[in-house]
Structure 1
């Protein structure tokens, strides 16, 4: 399925041109999509389509495949821009696109993938899909604004509830809620109301797990630089809870480093801060919260899928979400 989705994504992108610059442009658009990735969101969308009765080989499933390709394109153009905004070094084990080609060209490549996303949505021909993508992108942009504005303005007087609100906007909608809803729409079914509450809980659990992996994950499996969130000054639940009880000297050192731009941060001090966080109870607290949110979200979906058109597909979808919310890589 990954190969089929990638083929659809690439079919919407230019193949080259009569100038070396345009051939380089085509290569840039293909870069992030061909780096791999787990394809979690498109997998959820297709699973949701099957749960609601859209079987492979049917026109409804064909529409779901185009929406899944659109979601892949959304993910990739957002990642290009996100890497620029965060001044990230790596993406999926290789230098970020702007590190390879410079910021202006990378922004332009992200914009081009954004347009291709809408082309995929149009090809799907699924009623309500356009509106769902619009709602998803608006919420994601709002969450990204919260995240970026806290960094831009040096805001650290925040609490776990602030983090949760940001994550619900930035992560939950495009990671869980919209894939579930888009799958139902592709099958010609009205999405369950429970998808929103369940998706908020599961999306939050997913992001907390990602935050933990950014501190303690396996670099070969994680696909991003370990400790990158600290270098980028991310406000995570782990950091915010640690700050509430951190020793005064550690807190002072942390805030002094966070006032610096990424290139000016001291790598040795950041490594020490990472150790403080890993040794603190804030990691376990965040993991406990994620576990509770995952359990609540899965329970809501189990109830919503009691009368699923395809019970086996429902069980498979729940298994994917369970792995997503408790993953170790």
Structure 2
């Protein structure tokens, strides 16, 4: 039996539900517990957990064995990581929505949401301890370090109002911020839980695929359907995100368009004008920058899939290995 994102969701949600505390005599602490459960119970695509479990099977872990139990706890660890990072990310970006509902800090305020994210972070380590795989800890630490570095670069650009950037700067940022926790570490953890040394090509493949995934996500933020996307359309413009499309467009935008753009980006999110944002979005879509970004994502996806296929060849479970390639292909070429 191969684990898909849909089939594994109830199992991992149950593990999170049982791991997190449920009741306190103090009503304030009960609120904390509800907030900690909020994002995990909203669901999600579960791509990272799916890649980990498929990688474990590809490397020879059998369902129902102690190693499989460890793999499930590692997948739970990734789910908790994803959710506490999203709480913090929504605060940093002052986002309106997450998975079709108000962001946690919009409902409860920044201080309480920040604390809930910190508490959820602690339970991520509790899940890792349940896995009982000592060699997994360095992988989790690498994941946190790389993600934090990429997030810092992204936030520093916004904080310092830095727009003198090239598309290559964006690609370096997303390789850190997105690729390691989305692809590289899930694949490596699957090998680790099987007692095998991860193939070195997982890193290069995962970096390319993760960057392609983030470009597609940024494109969807401009062109996608709000209901299926799960976040507000054009939210990246409101948040002043340095995306590949924006940086590409700024290299060729007319002087008056660039002036309007930079003036609007210097406004706080709450003071940005909807009519100007709509105009900026129209200029972006007309410029060809989206098409060029998609082309870059295509190139990254092709390179990543080639490397991934090579790295997975000869593993004990070729069906699981082939499914990883299929999942990675959908990840890097997503349009919804």
Shorter-chain TM-score: which interval? over 0.9
Aligned to 1:185: 192
Q: Contact 1:164–1:204 at 8 Å: present in 2 too? A: yes
Give the unaligned 5+ runs of structure 2. 1-7
Deviation (angstroms), 1:50? 0.6
Aligned to 1:142: 149
Cα separation, 1, equivalents of 2:198 and 2:16: 25
Aligned to 1:73: 80
Aligned to 2:159: 152
Deviation (angstroms), 1:19? 2.2
Aligned to 2:43: 36
The DSSP-based 3-state class of the residue aligned with 2:64 is coil
- Structure 1 runs of 4+ aligned residues shifted over 2 Å read none
Aligned to 1:232: 239
Aligned to 2:303: 296
Cα separation, 2, equivalents of 1:40 and 1:173: 13
The DSSP-based 3-state class of the residue aligned with 1:126 is coil
Aligned to 1:257: 264
Aligned to 1:243: 250
1:111 to 115, 118, 134: 118
Structure 1 stretch 109-118 or stretch 274-283: which is displaced more? 274-283
Cα separation, 1, equivalents of 2:148 and 2:312: 30
Cα separation, 2, equivalents of 1:108 and 1:52: 38
Aligned to 1:173: 180
Q: CA RMSD in A?
A: 0.7
Cα separation, 2, equivalents of 1:5 and 1:188: 22
Is 1:23 matched up with 2:30?
yes
Give the unaligned 5+ runs of structure 1. none
Q: What's the CA shift string for 1:21-63, capped at 9, x where partnerless?
A: 2221111111000001101101111111011011210111111
Using the size of structure 1 for normalisation, the TM-score is 0.99
The DSSP-based 3-state class of the residue aligned with 1:185 is helix
Deviation (angstroms), 1:112? 0.6
Q: What's the CA shift string for 1:159-198, capped at 9, x where partnerless?
A: 0110011001100000000000011101111100000000
Deviation (angstroms), 1:224? 0.7
1:204 to 173, 194, 211: 211
Equivalent runs, 1:81-120 vs 2, <5 Å: 81-120=88-127
Equivalent runs, 1:123-142 vs 2, <5 Å: 123-142=130-149
Is 1:316 matched up with 2:323?
yes
Q: Contact 1:238–1:286 at 8 Å: present in 2 too? A: yes
Cα separation, 2, equivalents of 1:13 and 1:277: 44
Cα separation, 2, equivalents of 1:49 and 1:162: 34
Cα separation, 1, equivalents of 2:274 and 2:75: 39
Q: Contact 1:202–1:293 at 8 Å: present in 2 too? A: yes
Deviation (angstroms), 1:247? 1.1
Cα separation, 2, equivalents of 1:61 and 1:55: 6
Aligned to 1:271: 278
